[in-house]
């Protein structure tokens, strides 16, 4: 039964008398520490695949030879611990609000808050920005052109047509657009370091860095301009230089200098997004200010640094 921390895969029939069970029964029997009630919840939020297709019906009978994948992780922990339409509506009601910055018949640019997923994941097809946009009154499915992490805030563009999706996707592949992030990183980032050229996932990755503000010895506010756009590129690059993004639990930013206030979440924000309109070619540029949920923390950090 191959597995990792967030995924368990099994083939029906490997266990005796398994074929013919309800799917929630099979999951409870084969996934460690997953009760039948939690199995139904996992199905309800969309975290289970059978032979590559997402399945939500707890009473579906499993057949010998089917491959079942249970995707466990943050979505299961964040969900209201009940099944059904009302529970999922409660989940949606707790989501932070997003702001539409620009929209026409081809694209929609959104300022995403921290705590909202960009798009469906294997863990869940619910409560993400793409699905919320599609379900607006008069809305339609959108194309996910790029993503930013759950805890990262800031600007994203979605395509509304196939043509716009192809054009924008090509611009992202060619890195033919402008993207800048603000990041509060640990410690005193060196003045001399202006470009980090370090591969990510075996691919060339380049981040250009400018110091926006020094916050004593505890932190530095950086403006990071992406020349390439690899997964977690900024987080990995600053961590490799010994100055992880503050509040980043994955890449070493969970700690901060003694006496300095801790950030309420990962201090990373997509502040500039610029691209040529996919149909007209007109240059578009959007800016999002440092967000309010990090603003009071940054003020406290400034106050701490001035003492």
Q: Where does residue 138 rank: exposed (0-12), middle (13-18), buried (19+ CB within 10 A)? A: exposed
Q: Are strands 107-112 and 153-159 parallel, antiparallel or unpaired?
A: antiparallel
User: In the chain, which ranges are continuous DSSP H helix?
Assistant: 23-30, 36-45, 74-78, 85-93, 129-134, 162-174, 233-240, 292-306
Question: Cα angle at 110 between 104 and 113, to 5 degrees?
Answer: 165
> CA-based Rg of the chain, rounded to a whole angstrom?
22
Minimal CA–CA distance to 300: which of 224, 235, 219?
219
Q: Does residue 149 have an active-site annotation? A: yes
User: In whole angstroms, what separates CA 203 from the centre of its chain?
Assistant: 21
Q: Are strands 53-54 and 48-50 parallel, antiparallel or unpaired?
A: antiparallel
**Token pair of 121, please?**
């994941």
Cβ count within 10 A of residue 127: 20
What is the enclosing helix (H) or strand (E) of 274?
strand 268-276
| Catalytic one of 24, 149, 248, 299 | 149
Q: Are strands 99-103 and 48-50 parallel, antiparallel or unpaired?
A: unpaired
**Euclidean distance between the first and the last CA atom of the chain, given in angstroms as a whole number:** 56
Cβ within 8 Å of residue 212, ≥6 positions away: 182, 221, 222, 223
Q: Are strands 268-276 and 283-287 parallel, antiparallel or unpaired?
A: antiparallel
User: Which phi and psi angles does 4 have, rounded to 5°?
Assistant: -140, -165
The residues annotated with a catalytic role in the active site are: 149
């Amino acid at each position: 039964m191959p597995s990792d921390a967030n995924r368990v895969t099994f083939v029906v029939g490997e266990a005796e008398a398994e074929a013919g069970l309800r799917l929630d029964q099979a999951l409870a029997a084969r996934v460690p520490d997953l009760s039948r009630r939690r199995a139904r919840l996992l199905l309800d939020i969309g975290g289970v695949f059978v032979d590559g297709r997402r399945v939500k019906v707890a009473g579906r009978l499993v057949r010998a030879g089917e491959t079942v994948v249970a995707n466990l992780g943050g979505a299961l922990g964040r969900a209201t611990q009940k099944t059904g339409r009302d529970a999922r509506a409660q989940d949606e009601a707790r989501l932070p609000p997003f702001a539409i910055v620009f929209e026409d018949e081809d694209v929609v640019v959104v300022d995403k808050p921290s705590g909202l997923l960009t798009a469906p994941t294997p863990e869940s097809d619910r409560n993400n920005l793409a699905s919320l946009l599609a379900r607006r009154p008069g809305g339609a499915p959108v194309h996910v052109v790029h993503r930013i992490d759950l805890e990262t805030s800031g600007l994203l563009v979605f395509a509304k047509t196939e043509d716009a999706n192809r054009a924008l996707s090509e611009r992202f592949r060619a890195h033919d657009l402008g993207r800048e992030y603000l990041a509060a990183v640990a410690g005193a980032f060196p003045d001399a370091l202006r470009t980090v050229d370090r591969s990510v996932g075996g691919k060339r990755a380049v981040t250009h860095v400018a110091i926006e503000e020094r916050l004593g010895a505890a932190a530095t506010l950086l403006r990071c301009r992406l020349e390439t756009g690899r997964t977690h590129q900024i987080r990995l690059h600053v961590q490799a230089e010994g100055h992880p993004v503050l509040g980043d639990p994955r890449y070493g930013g969970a700690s901060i200098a003694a006496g300095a206030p801790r950030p309420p979440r990962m201090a990373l924000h997509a502040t500039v997004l610029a691209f040529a309109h996919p149909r007209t070619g007109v240059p578009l540029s959007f800016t999002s200010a440092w967000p309010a949920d990090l603003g009071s923390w940054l003020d406290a950090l400034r106050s701490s640094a001035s003492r």
